[in-house]
Structure 1
Amino acid sequence: MEVGVLGPLELREDGRTVEVLGTQQRALLAVLVARRGRVVPAEVLVEALWGEEPPRTATHTLHTHASRLRRSQGVPLRAVDGGYLLELEAERVDGARFEALVAGAAAGPATEAVRLLEEALALWRGPAFGRAADLVAVRGEALRLDESRSAAREQLAAALHATGRAADAVAVLEALVADEPYRETAWAQLARALTAAGRPADGVAAVARASASLDELGLRPSADLRAAQQEALRGGPARTTARPSLPVPASTLVGRDEDVAAVDALVGTEPLITLLGPGGVGKTRLALEVARRRAQRHRSGVRLVELATLTDGAAVPAATVAALELSGEGGTTSTMLRRAGTLDLLVVLDNCEHVIEAVAAVVEDLLAAGGPLRVLATSRERLEVAGERVHAVAPLAVDGTDPAARRLFVERARAAGAWTTDPEPADVDRVVRELDGLPLAIEMAAARAATVGLADLGDQLEVDLARLEHPGRGSAARHRTLASVIAWSSALLDDAERTVLADWPVFAGPVRPADAAAVLEAAAEVPDRLVRRSLLALDVRDGRTRYRMLHTVRSAVLDSAPVRPALRRRHAEWFLDVARQADAALRTSAEPEACALLAAQVADLRAAHAWARNTDPALAARLSGALHVHATGTMNDEILGWAARLGPVLADDDPQGAAAQVSVAARLVVGGELRAGEHRARRALEVASDDRVRMTALEVLGDVALYDGRLDDSAALGLRVVELARSLGDPHYVMTGLSYPILCASYGGRYDEARELLARTREEMDRFPDLGPTVLGNLAYTAGEIEIEHRPAVALAHLERATTLAEQSGCTFLGGVARVSASSVRARHGDPAAAMAAFDEVVRWWLVRANRTHLVTTLRNLVDLLERVGADTAAAELWGAVVLGGGSVSFGAERARLDGARERLQSRLGADRFAELADVGATLDPETAARHALSAMASGPAGA
């Protein structure tokens, strides 16, 4: 037996359709198939069959219907405690087969993707589930499948375009925009496909048709659609310059012309190319050269993802998202990476081998769309991802009339000031042969040539490196080769240099000279000398000097001896001090610099916390406390998550762990788990022995009370924060605490009281001349909240100032809440098109940062706009999601607006239809509701 859901619901047996008699049995089957593999509670099925007023015999009749499906139709249905379970294999449902084919298309080359996607789309017979999609319990799954179909059509068009079949891509996209005239992404694809097919005038006309459709809704074309129009006007995509994301090479690339040409050609035709070779062979340098040459051939440029500093594979997706600048896209990291696959972008993933499984998963997501995106990876082992093409990077040639290894050695030795006359080629060849042509070894030996004659250098190599093996003969040999090079180079160092080299792997990422001096207890000039010997590299960004150790050198040094435990402790204690100093600076006008410093030091903060969790949990807890303001302000879920990992090693009544408990509480509140967050914060408040920890715990409790609508409690908690902050001499938290009574008075409708409190707070602010931009921005946000209902233009001015100050400080949380309020003002008083664009941005803002609490608040404000532009179906569904779906409480003016929207929607849709749609919304989690809302904004009233 098979089930068809890609169209009207049907059963098939031996290739023929089997009729399911009775509307209730068909409804029962539809709900069970929509929730295949999960137990469906009996009450859900009863409501699906009879609505809100089932007969007294409903449970018995349900059992009868289920028995008939099982006996007469052969449906593999099993009664379990409290419900029913459909035990149907995935391959027997056409919807599951469709999704498997689409996933397969994402993993292979574009030509194979076309075949699989055409096969997948041929399975469709009409809208998913047909009329059964009207059932509340089925609609969510039907909508998901319908959206997957549209996405697959776009994916097919992209694959056709990538294989040179632009005319066929045009046909697919014309059909799609005919079905979904408000699908802006499809219109942009169509314009580009027409341009690629040699029809740029039609591409321009396609943008005009799209604009006319959007204009019906009062919407303006997106930036991407406008870019597609400009490409059509130019007759093709713009040639853009490379973004400044690639490091500028300090020297020329020697002996790699053939490799560069071969890899360049592969990138032009294959989605994934892995440069494979031993450490020190020059994979990174080759990849960067290819990327530099190709930068202008990719419309979205080139991005470099440096993986060497990551020690945990779990950090790879987030690091890739950050490097690709995808934070505005919204959704999970996997979703963002898949969307990036539609961009004409070259992604260089450097040093993959130590996090290979995580990298492979990221690459699969990037290539899932089958679009123009290309990945160039460097690794000591294959990624083992479908479609991978490997280019082996060999050591440089050491034989011939002018071997590349000789040229590299001579060029680097001259740069180091080695000779004034040309060396004897035979002497150079003797050296590079001993080094087996390994570029890293050659560069280190060339640096030594400035102080040692070539003959002596060759003698030393014969003595110390006589047993060098060819680096291509296996991983163990590769390690021995590099370890021998490092050991030889180390023998030439003085004691101070040798100690610093051996201890450097304690650092996880680039570090400042001050970090090196403090942790390694080294004189300032020692790292500089190691840089000159090619054992350390300079990492100069924003005019600031940092040192880093190449991943290959680090591996070899660690092969000789692990990092000493005492050094690990000194490293952790130093970076705790760094975090504490930055935390103090975050509360002053130096906040932007402190925020940037912590962002740059995250690799070593991560390493310090990980070591301390296992060795000194109390130190790890103190580090979480020092990072709390930064992590909550920047909504850095990773840093807040470090505190959660302390749970197994610190009891919840341990005062040493109270600071970590507060970070866990804040993370729970952000994720929408208010009760759990409140419990954690109260527990931290009870056991904390430090007033600073108590102050941050009270802040979390004040937030929860505010989200719950317990305004008096929130105001009182804010004043307790003020009391502690004054005793600690912390103006930042004085001003933070004072904002709670102001907001609570405003949300309670006591606007004159709120304005009076704000005036007093401003007077107090004048006593603190060195406040940071976050505090000033928070005050501007508070002023805006007071005026939203009565003076929207004034409110917008305050909120825009808050947003500007948040951008200066790096406080993404403040930027987010200010954008929510500004979007709400525009939704009710401004241009609907501008409001749509603003809400689209801010919904994605919270999605990508996994902040469920503020996502729900944003969606509540969005109900007004959807209802205002006539997207009644979407507005009613969203109303159900944010009012009936649980989470924080809506109150005051916001609740009044929601109630008004409900009355207007009931009037236009009818009470029954509104209730049905609201019930659908109530079944959606906030993230799904947000994605539906984004789709509705893109589609407009007709599509909603």
Structure 2
Amino acid sequence: AAGVAFVPLDEVEEAAAVVPAVLEAAGVGGLVSSVADDLAALADLDLLLVLDNCEHVLDAVADFASRVGGSRLTLLATSRQSIGVEGERVVAVAPLMADGPQLFAARAASAGVDTDPDHPAVARIVANVDGLPLAIEMAAALTPSLGLDDLVELTAATPSTMRSPIRGAAKRQRHLGALIDWSLDRLVDVDRLAVGDLAVFEGTFTREHAAALIGSQRLTTLPELVDRSLLVADTSDGRARYRMLRTVRERVWQRHDDREATSERHADIVSTFVGLLDDGLQTDDEATVHGELLERYADLRSAHAWARRRRPELAVGLTACTYNWAHSRQIADPFRWADELGAGGHGGEPAVALAMAQARFLDGKADEALALLGQVVDRSTGRIRLAVHETIGDINLALGRLDESIDTNVELVRLSEKADDIHYAVIGLVGQAIGHRYGGRRSEAERLLDVIGSVAAVAPTDRGWCRYARAEVIGDEDVEGAADDFRVATELADTVGNRFLGGVARVSLSALRARAGAPEASIDDLVETIVEWRQRGMRSYLETSLRNLVILLHRVERDREAAELLGALDRWAEFDTFGDEAR
């Protein structure tokens, strides 16, 4: 195009005023010429015509585009909704997550405040407003009166209340809430109700999730909501995943009249889907299932919070079906939620008691944990019963009560076989093998390796535990073979996000290297794992890892540091030393 004409349609309120505004901006038209003649003259120009903010006059813009279509004129329209004419090519404008800080700094400078675009608070502000350019500009305009930390809090809490810095802005653009309200008010009632329901989803959701919430007959509203920029769709993997930008969701949910009923349906839906995903963790699709659980986590959190307040029995069920995932991935929130349920009078529920006990054990309070488990072991059922036995076996192993640990794991295998549960059968066999190995009963440990090898484990976690058990048993005689097994266990754990298995395998590999005469190379790896245990509050495993670090420090003749660490451990530790750490 030889020239450019910019038409700010946000200044146009009536559809009839669109064509005159275009002609005026392009410099076309006379006092006595007809509109048809003026449009013909416009169409003959080699011109790029930019129609900015079309969404409120879409029909008029579509009519204009049809009348000048096929001419030398090139139209570029910006809108929250596609125009819907032949020949239109829609280009979705992604949020400015990467470039947003630079835009923020530039607009803050225009307001008289110098801001470092690399400041961490700026990145948080941009993320809080979903990288929306208008919202970034609104936030930056507040820098003369609010500090960056204040803006972080404001954009996290009520971003839709921020106002435009432009005094003459159109009514719908004076604050984010008004812009979203404008879009909502143009929906038909059924679509407005649907988008209000869908605002309950804090994370992404699929058509299947939407159908469960609003009914399959209302799924036709999804493309309409995407077209109006009320939903964002990601179709990159062949199946659409929808999400509502947080800035939009806050306002839509605020306006929704049926929040309580919607929240209840949402909690039931989350419970159903998470329960199915819990089953999937025991399959060869474990990595995908783990990813799905991470993607559903925001909704799990909100569903559990609602259920704790309104339907505690549903919260107990959610605790049960997320326990294995939260424990193996070292995710702390579900254990805090269980504590809240316990404080609310539901600590006698086996799933709640199990989660509370696991948290006590990881905090080094083994006796408290065993007491909690002892109260529910005979009342627990299903997978929770298996997990209760697993935890009792783990605690006794950590306390050096090897016979008690072995007996519990024997019972775990019996129960698992009865329930046809491969995961807990593997856990029980591994627990027995390690117990016998620590107790010096090598032949029995080797026999159990043969049994473990016959189990048809398919989930990466279960295969990893099998390799871990083999490494523990053969470590003294076949250092290289054991090291390879530990590495494989670590790799399998990492592919599915299993921090627990990955952590213990790394610690054991470090201890093996120390015994094999290569302690220096192991110290950094072990320290990395120790830092992670500490960050996640896993005191019992932290203690074992620190004892292994004492061994490594001694092997490299850093005896002063080893002695200081050992002395500190003797004052701080909850558990007696056993196994390799006692050597």
Q: TM-score, normalised by structure 1?
A: 0.47
Superposition RMSD on alpha carbons, in Å? 3.5
Q: Is residue 511 of structure 1 aligned with residue 248 of structure 2?
A: no
Distance 2:287 2:154 in 1: 35
Larger CA deviation: 568-577 vs 553-562:
553-562
Shift of 1:777: 0.2
Residue 831 (structure 1) aligns with: 518
Residue 266 (structure 1) aligns with: 114
Q: Is residue 494 of structure 1 aligned with residue 191 of structure 2?
A: no
Distance 2:465 2:329 in 1: 14
Q: Is residue 585 of structure 1 aligned with residue 280 of structure 2?
A: yes
Distance 2:382 2:118 in 1: 59
Task: Confirm or deny: 8 A CA contact 1:751 1:786 kept in the other structure.
Answer: yes
Task: Confirm or deny: 8 A CA contact 1:682 1:697 kept in the other structure.
Answer: no
Cα 1:262–1:673 change in 2 (3 A) is same
Residue 605 (structure 1) aligns with: 300
Cα 1:282–1:396 change in 2 (3 A) is farther
Shift of 1:583: 0.7
Distance 2:429 2:325 in 1: 20
Task: Confirm or deny: 8 A CA contact 2:129 2:159 kept in the other structure.
Answer: no
Residue 412 (structure 1) aligns with: none
Task: Confirm or deny: 8 A CA contact 2:253 2:259 kept in the other structure.
Answer: no
Distance 1:893 1:275 in 2: 47
Q: Is residue 697 of structure 1 aligned with residue 388 of structure 2?
A: yes
Cα 1:498–1:279 change in 2 (3 A) is farther
- Offset from partner CA, 1:593-642 (integer Å, 9 cap, x none): 11111111111000110111111111101100000110011011112221
2:170 maps to which of 425, 430, 433: 433
Cα 1:840–1:266 change in 2 (3 A) is farther
Matches within 5 A, 1:840-851: 840-851=527-538
Distance 2:235 2:359 in 1: 34
Shift of 1:276: 12
Matches within 5 A, 1:801-816: 801-816=488-503
Matches within 5 A, 1:629-648: 629-648=324-343
Q: Is residue 678 of structure 1 aligned with residue 370 of structure 2?
A: yes
Residue 408 (structure 2) aligns with: 717
Matches within 5 A, 1:756-835: 756-763=447-454, 765=455, 768=456, 771-835=458-522
Task: Confirm or deny: 8 A CA contact 1:518 1:574 kept in the other structure.
Answer: yes
Task: Confirm or deny: 8 A CA contact 2:160 2:247 kept in the other structure.
Answer: no
Task: Confirm or deny: 8 A CA contact 2:489 2:501 kept in the other structure.
Answer: yes
1:661 maps to which of 331, 338, 353: 353
Cα 1:751–1:352 change in 2 (3 A) is same
What secondary structure does 1:506 align onto?
coil
Matches within 5 A, 1:719-758: 719-758=410-449
Distance 2:495 2:249 in 1: 36
AA aligned to 1:353 is: L
AA aligned to 1:266 is: D
Distance 1:572 1:888 in 2: 40
Shift of 1:670: 1.4
AA aligned to 1:748 is: G
Matches within 5 A, 1:918-929: none
Shift of 1:838: 1.4
Cα 1:726–1:269 change in 2 (3 A) is closer
Larger CA deviation: 806-815 vs 539-548:
539-548
The number of residue pairs the alignment matches comes to 477
What secondary structure does 2:94 align onto?
coil
What secondary structure does 2:170 align onto?
helix
Residue 164 (structure 2) aligns with: 394
Task: Confirm or deny: 8 A CA contact 2:281 2:290 kept in the other structure.
Answer: yes
Distance 1:280 1:533 in 2: 21
Shift of 1:491: 4.1
Q: Is residue 567 of structure 1 aligned with residue 567 of structure 2?
A: no
AA aligned to 2:170 is: R
Residue 544 (structure 2) aligns with: 857
Distance 2:492 2:96 in 1: 43
AA aligned to 1:722 is: V
AA aligned to 2:515 is: R
Residue 34 (structure 1) aligns with: none
Cα 1:495–1:581 change in 2 (3 A) is same
What secondary structure does 1:547 align onto?
strand
1:616 maps to which of 301, 311, 315: 311
Q: Which runs of 5+ in 2 are unaligned?
A: 1-91, 138-147
Matches within 5 A, 1:414-563: 433-435=170-172, 438=173, 470-471=174-175, 481-482=178-179, 486=181, 488-522=182-216, 523-539=218-234, 545-563=240-258
Q: Which runs of 5+ in 1 are unaligned?
A: 1-247, 290-346, 357-377, 382-391, 399-431, 439-469, 472-477, 898-944
Task: Confirm or deny: 8 A CA contact 1:350 1:379 kept in the other structure.
Answer: no
Shift of 1:350: 9.4
What secondary structure does 1:618 align onto?
helix
Distance 2:541 2:351 in 1: 24
Shift of 1:266: 3.5
AA aligned to 1:887 is: E
Q: TM-score, normalised by structure 2?
A: 0.74
Cα 1:275–1:823 change in 2 (3 A) is closer
Distance 1:499 1:758 in 2: 59
Distance 1:620 1:434 in 2: 44
Cα 1:287–1:350 change in 2 (3 A) is farther
Shift of 1:786: 0.9
Distance 1:886 1:280 in 2: 42
